[in-house]
Chain A
Amino acid sequence: MQKFDKLSGIAAPMPLVNIDTDMIIPKVFLKTIKRSGLGVNLFDEMRYDRQGNELPDFVLNQPAYREASILVAGDNFGCGSSREHAPWAIADFGIRCVISTSFADIFYNNCFKNGILPIVLPEDQRDVLMKDAEKGANARIEVDLEAQTVTSSDGETFTFDLDPFKKHCLMNGLDDIGLTMEKSAAIDAFEGQVSAQRPWV
């Protein structure tokens, strides 16, 4: 997994609340058996017309935001299904960080498996960054994972909370499965104990 350390980039504003996983990556693109190549279909139904032409009003089609690496989003981003195709598409587009007041649980967890940092901020701070993002390509937002800070183009800095284990894995690009397998003795012992106590499992 790609490591996450510091990020300085253009942020795209998406103030709509409850942006769901069907909006992020519509189901027609779930029929892949690969993880890559979904960036072109990110937000597909909001981004293109039925003939595949770009809709000029959509934020990621505007010249200032084509190279966005950060999304500043409305409340409850990523609600809906468990499809990891959503963070795959986001990462494949080149977005490494999403900032909102809240994220749906499964989407939030999925981000960390794919080198994406989801940042939760209070509404007023998110709104400052939303305004900043609306300025376009001249406004670069800085994210420092180690310091747990995000800084607007005007130099206003906010700190965010993050689970220390998730931070550690993201900073070092660690593979969860490898880490868990180091604890296989504990899993073996637990499995033995459970099969004695609850043999029907």
Chain B
Amino acid sequence: MSPKTLYDKIWDAHVAHEAEDGTCLLYIDRHLVHEVTSPQAFEGLRMAGRKVRAPEKTIAVPDHNVPTTLDRANAETMTEDSRIQVDALDKNAKEFGIHYYPVSDVRQGIVHIVGPEQGWTLPGMTVVCGDSHTATHGAFGALAHGIGTSEVEHVLATQTLIQKKSKNMKVEITGHLRPGVTAKDITMSVIGETGTAGGTGYVIEYCGTAIQDLSMEGRMTVCNMAIEGGARAGLIAPDQKTFDYCKGRPHAPKGAEWEAAQAWWETLYSDDDAHWDKVVTLKGEDIAPSVTWGTSPEDVLPITATVPSPDSFQGGKVEAAQRSIDYMGLSAGQKLTDIEIDTVFIGSCTNGRIEDLRAAAEILKGKKVKDGMRAMVVPGSGLVRAQAEEEGLADIFKDAGFEWRMAGCSMCLAMNPDQLAEGERCASTSNRNFEGRQGYKGRTHLVSPAMAAAAAVTGKLTDVRDLM
């Protein structure tokens, strides 16, 4: 047999039909659904008199719109149009008989955090969702990517996607990370290296010792931002850490079925002499705590750097960099650590898991949020929230002056009441620093949870290593 990559192996195990021109029907093992990109798809099914083909493989949870305030059970906290979307999901889940975690359920949270937490996401699976950050599930060695609403409808109706195979890209992080450097810094540094279109046309496999060192939470952070690098999906080969994370989860296999599953999962790795269409290698030791200065995730630099001059770029990026600097209210040559902020957001499908909250709490222990700043923590799910309370992390956040919120997407995309006001500047653990992403004319600097905590204490973008 010819050598294969991990992507090749998962792909081959899911081709239900292949046409002569190579167009495939890829079978989908798990379909995750949220309230924003699904109403038109369910409406399409209804109009055509179609059913959901595999409701037992379809899981829905509202996350984008839901308020994260403690009083959110009160319907008044949601705007009319948000409530219509959440109500539509309630109704569609019931009508089509799919698994559902409503807002009132303690297991509710961001779809990409709930999927792994409940054991829906397992190695070797194909996972899709009408959301680009579906790449998160690649941390389990699952082929996972975002789809549009027409494709959501296609998967609901047929449990397949029309696909052509992507190319294979290997991103290797050698060595080990230095203290204060996290999974977020890895994934941002890779995008800084390859650009936001560097992964277009590829599925990325992240590998190397620095990746193996990461917990499952860290691996999810790395894969989550594969889409920001343009890749269709990001993958990490499953190992003992993966199996340990999955075992005992509500929807993970049990007994003999577990044994059979693990035996197959252990074959899911890239063969030594597999072909790679593109290879990128970074040294773990070279990665620094990182921050974005502009309005594209590729605008990333070590915290020790200065805002670049637009002239240091080429082609269309010169104008884009100037536009970013103007939008962000910065000037070329300014030290990143001199940038004052007024808001800190810790949460999102990138960094809303228990390990992220532990890392931030570690920095905040015994310290206070700087006067006049707004700081909030939004756990990625109700269960993450409960665990953080049990571990005493919630008290650390509250004592420091953070708001302790309910689970949801929150300020990552500001489709809910959590938004930046015009001109406000935020150190955010989310994934996109696009113009207006966190609120009209809001300014976003992407950072790791530890860096966000450090910024909350000092009121400026800060090298977390100075507080360790």
Contact = CB atoms under 8 A, between A and B. Distances in A.
A200 B253 contact: yes
A147 interface: no
Nearest to B30: A201
A113 B150 contact: yes
B190 to A, nearest CB: 16
Contact of B85 (A31, A74, A201): A31
- Highest count of chain A CB atoms <10 Å: which of B201, B227, B413: B227
B232 A105 contact: yes
B224 to A, nearest CB: 13
B154 A80 contact: no
Interface in B110-153: 122, 124-125, 130-132, 134, 145-151, 153
A187 interface: yes
Interface string A65-106: 000000000111001111110010000000000000011111
Contacts of B317: 17
A163 interface: yes
Interface stretch (B37-45, B274-282, B361-369, B400-408): B37-45
Interface in A16-65: 16-18, 20, 22-23, 26-28, 30-35, 45, 50
B160 A33 contact: no
Interface string A158-198: 00000111000000000011001101101101110010001
Interface residues of B, number: 80
Nearest to B158: A180
Nearest to A109: B148
Contacts of B81: 31-32
B31 to A, nearest CB: 12
Interface string B417-458: 000001000000000101111001000000000000000000
B261 interface: yes
Interface stretch (B19-27, B214-222, B237-245, B381-389): B19-27
A199 B65 CA distance: 35
B432 A106 contact: no
- Highest count of chain B CB atoms <10 Å: which of A75, A81, A87, A186: A81
A105 B200 contact: yes
A152 interface: no
Contact of A31 (B154, B323, B415): B415
Given A163-B164, A200-B253, A184 B158 contact: yes
A22 B433 CA distance: 10
B261 A82 contact: no
A136 interface: no
Contact of B415 (A30, A75, A103, A200): A30
Interface string B52-69: 001001000000110000
Contact of A82 (B148, B160, B197, B414): B148
Nearest to B233: A105
Contact of B27 (A15, A163, A187): A187
A30 B159 CA distance: 25
A164 B21 contact: yes
A165 B21 contact: yes
Given A23-B435, A79-B197, A109-B148, A180 B154 contact: yes
Contacts of A76: 196-197, 200, 230
A15 B319 contact: yes
Contact of A106 (B39, B132, B258): B132
A165 B19 contact: yes
A153 interface: no
Contact of A105 (B134, B150, B201): B201
B159 A81 contact: no
Contact of A191 (B19, B27, B323): B27
Contacts of A187: 16-17, 25, 27, 158-160
Nearest to B163: A109
A201 B232 CA distance: 23
Interface residues of A, number: 56
Interface string B156-189: 0111101010000000000000000000000000
Given A186-B16, A201-B29, A17 B434 contact: no
A139 to B, nearest CB: 21
Contacts of A18: 196-197, 296, 298, 320
B88 interface: yes
Contacts of A15: 316, 319
Contacts of B151: 109-110, 113
B320 A17 contact: yes
B196 A74 contact: no
Contacts of A80: 132, 432, 434
A190 B29 CA distance: 12
B305 interface: no
Contacts of B154: 176-177, 180
A33 B197 contact: no
B70 interface: no
A175 to B, nearest CB: 9
Interface string A101-142: 011111001100110000000000000000000000000000
B84 interface: yes
B228 to A, nearest CB: 8
B40 A180 contact: no
Nearest to B87: A33
Interface of A: 15-18, 20, 22-23, 26-28, 30-35, 45, 50, 74-76, 79-84, 87, 102-106, 109-110, 113-114, 163-165, 176-177, 180-181, 183-184, 186-187, 189-191, 194, 198-201
28 contacts: A18-B296, A18-B298, A18-B320, A20-B296, A31-B65, A31-B82, A32-B81, A33-B88, A34-B40, A75-B197, A76-B200, A79-B197, A80-B132, A82-B134, A83-B36, A109-B151, A113-B150, A113-B151, A165-B162, A180-B162, A183-B17, A183-B25, A184-B158, A187-B25, A187-B27, A200-B122, A200-B257, A200-B260
